Amino acid sequence: MAPLSTWWFLRRLKSRVWVTKRILRALKLFLPMTRDVLRGDFRPVPWSAFAMMALALAYLVMPFDLIPDFLMLIGIIDDVLIMGWLLNRIDQRLEGYRAWKYTNPDMTPS
């Protein structure tokens, strides 16, 4: 029963904080990147990041899921895991934009 204890869960969650930070960083950078791409300020366009964000949003709003949401806890955990995985991958695709934004003297980091 030890692996299911509260302390085990909290230690496991604490060891995965870096994933949460990457997810939040991806969400924070995606909208400014979209604005810069639409204005023509940033090239090359990271099409894979746009595709993954569209996939994440589609998975979130579609009534079809890997595990249906009517299976309360398991269905919601399924959505959270898949969204987290996709946002983590989006963050990896935004490395070029992040480097451009923070080294470009005209841009101020937000």
Residue 75: HSE in the Cβ half-sphere, 13 Å Cα cutoff: 10
- Determine the distance from the C-alpha atom of residue 10 to the mean position of all C-alpha atoms in its chain, rounded to a whole number: 22
pLDDT classification of 23: cutoffs 50, 70, 90 = confident
Q: For position 59, what pLDDT does the model report? A: 80
**Cβ-proximal residues to 25 (8 Å cutoff; 6+ apart), any chain:** 91
- When pLDDT is cut at 50, 70 and 90, the band that residue 96 belongs to is very high
User: Distance between CA atoms of 57 and 75, rounded to whole angstroms?
Assistant: 16
| pLDDT tens, position by position, 37-72 | 999 999 889 999 999 989 888 887 776 777 776 777
State the CB neighbour count (10 A cutoff) for residue 87: 21
Q: Return the domain boundaries, the chain.
A: 18-103
Residue 34 CB neighbour total at 10 angstroms: 16
- Tokens coding 34: 């979209």
Q: Residue 63 is encoded by which pair of tokens?
A: 């009534």
Name residue 3's amino acid.
P
The Cα–Cα gap between 110 and 105 comes to 13
Whether 1 shows a pLDDT value over 50: the answer reads no
